[in-house]
Amino acid sequence: MELSRAQAEGYRSRVRGCLLGGAIGDALGAPVEFVALSRIRAEHGERGVRGYCADHTGGAPRFGLVTDDTQMTLFTVEGLAQAGIRRDRGLGFNPVGLLHRSYLTWYETQTRAEPSGDRAGWLRRERWLYARRAPGNTCLNALAAAAAPTGERQRYGAAADNGSKGCGGVMRSAPIGLLPPWRGDHGPAIFSWAAEAAGLTHGHPTGKLASGALALLVHRLVAGDGLSGALDGVMSELARHDGHEETSEALSAARAAAESSPVCAETVERLGGGWIAEEALAIAVYAALVHDGPTPDAFLDALALAVTHSGDSDSTGAVCGNILGALHGESTLPPELAFEVEGRGTILQLADDFVWEFTAPDRLHGEYGPFTRWTDRYRG
């Protein structure tokens, strides 16, 4: 399908909005993760966290620092781009194995002080990604098993051998939903790829299904659905899968709260703490539903609500930012937060690369296109 200029620009805006919005939510919530709601209100007021807190660990204050949520999201984008190159070489499109390889590259950033060797891939050479920001033990342990010596390792694409449904799978799954929606009805495939990719580190069915639900939600938003209609589609897809009840019930609770409960942190906390996958998704969806207007003020209201609670504030903020960024595009991001979020240049560069790989591959690589250095940048 040949996209019009307006369609192409809209798609690019949603991709950029989703990735940068997620990073903003992550950075906004990170300093108050583990902090009790009463203390958050004492320090930030009744409206909650609406600006970056300073980090003084390096001496001079730094603002807008992201966590492993954003780091792993970016490596998800890289793996998808590599999968796109394989598809264009006639090797089919199943990204899970390449996502596993990208997550192992992220694991390298968490176990080394700086890039080593001359391995391909530009993202692994971004030194700011080597900061270790309280990565989840479940992710680290599962990837350590996959990086073990030959004969002991978990093979590429194989599910993790644990029963975790922590939010470490769902918080990185939004980019899978950014795959172009105009190539046919790939909703079930989007859901399945995201569920399998979450299962690389989180073995519990709910951890997988909540991740599939987020990816499909983002996919439907990119296709032009409103938030309520996109959620209807997600609920229908969830019902097709065994073990969906926890995720379905969490999303139903979020929708019910948006319709009839007070818009406040107490309502958020009744949905959970966000430490587990379905709760993180529910909190993010609730905040997006009650503040879904296409303005920077509404975006900030949603993020503030998503992070102002006593739980996993960075992950709930990141997922909320992913959702609203995919819904409205980058023009609704709050500029006062967007301009100084850590890694903004890398995030937007990666977003544009993703768009080009899935809209103009013939101009970058392949039998019928000119030879470029694209496949040095992303090896399929």
pLDDT tops 80 at residue 1: no
CATH number at residue 315: 1.10.4080.10
Residue 219 and residue 320: Cα distance in Å, rounded?
15
CA distances from 238 to 57, 190, 211, 277, 324 (A): 43, 12, 11, 14, 21
* DSSP state letters, 331-347: GGS-HHHHTTSTTHHHH
Q: What is the pLDDT of residue 168?
A: 97
Predicted confidence at residue 367, as pLDDT, reads 64
CA distances from 23 to 211, 227, 234 (A): 18, 20, 24
- Tokens standing for 318? 């990141």
Task: List Cβ neighbours of 51 (8 Å cut-off, separation of 6 or more).
Answer: 28, 336, 337
Query: In percent, how much of the chain has pLDDT > 90?
Result: 80
Would 84 be classed as within a structural domain?
Answer: yes
Residue 92's SS3 state is: coil
SS (H, E, C) 249-300: HHHHHHHHHHHHCCCCHHHHHHCCCCCEHHHHHHHHHHHHHHCCCCCHHHHH
Domain membership of residue 295 (yes or no) is yes
Length of the chain, please? Answer: 380
pLDDT at 294: 97
Structure tokens belonging to residue 17: 């909005």
Measured CA distances, 355 to 11, 15, 238, 339, 364 (Å) = 8, 7, 28, 21, 12
In a domain? residue 372: no
Burial class of residue 152 (count of CB atoms within 10 Å of its CB; 0-12, 13-18, 19+): exposed
pLDDT for 349 equals: 97
Question: Is 11 part of any domain?
Answer: no
Total domain count for the chain? Answer: 1
Does residue 334 fall inside a structural domain?
yes
User: Is the per-residue pLDDT at 300 higher than 90?
Assistant: yes
Confidence of residue 67 (pLDDT cuts 50, 70, 90): very high
Q: Which of 5-19, 179-193, 205-219, 291-305 has the lowest mean pLDDT?
A: 179-193
pLDDT in tens, 73-128: 999 999 999 999 988 887 888 899 999 999 999 999 999 988 876 666 799 999 99
The Cα–Cα gap between 122 and 113 comes to 17
pLDDT at 29: 98
Indicate if the pLDDT at residue 6 is higher than 70.
Answer: yes
Determine the Cα angle at 346 with ends 122 and 66, to 5°: 115
Average pLDDT value for residue range 14-34: 97
More confident residue, 139 or 113: 139
The Cα–Cα gap between 83 and 195 comes to 17
- For 232-283, what is each residue's pLDDT tens digit? 999 999 999 999 999 999 999 999 999 999 999 999 999 999 999 999 999 9
Q: Is residue 158 part of a domain?
A: no
Tell me how far the alpha carbon of residue 218 is from its chain's centroid.
Answer: 10
- Put residue 276 in one of left, alpha, beta given phi > 0 → left and psi -120 to 50 → alpha: beta
Q: Report phi then psi at 285, rounded to 5.
A: -65, -45
Domain that holds residue 351: 16-52+63-145+183-366
Name the β-bridge partners of 276.
166
Whether residue 10 is contained in a domain is answered as: no
What per-residue confidence (pLDDT) applies to 102? Answer: 95
Phi and psi angles of residue 278, each rounded to the nearest 5 degrees, phi first: -70, -30
What is the tens place of the pLDDT at every residue in 216-238? Answer: 999 999 999 999 999 999 999 99
CA distance 65 to 180: 30
Q: What is the DSSP string of 196-253?
A: HHHHTT--SHHHHHHHHHHHHHHHHHHTT--HHHHHHHHHHHHTTSTT-HHHHHHHHH
Query: What angle, rounded to 10 degrees, do the helices at 227-238 and 245-260 form?
Result: 150
Other CB atoms within 10 Å distance of the CB of residue 153: 14
pTM, to two decimals: 0.96
The answer as to whether 315 is a domain residue is yes
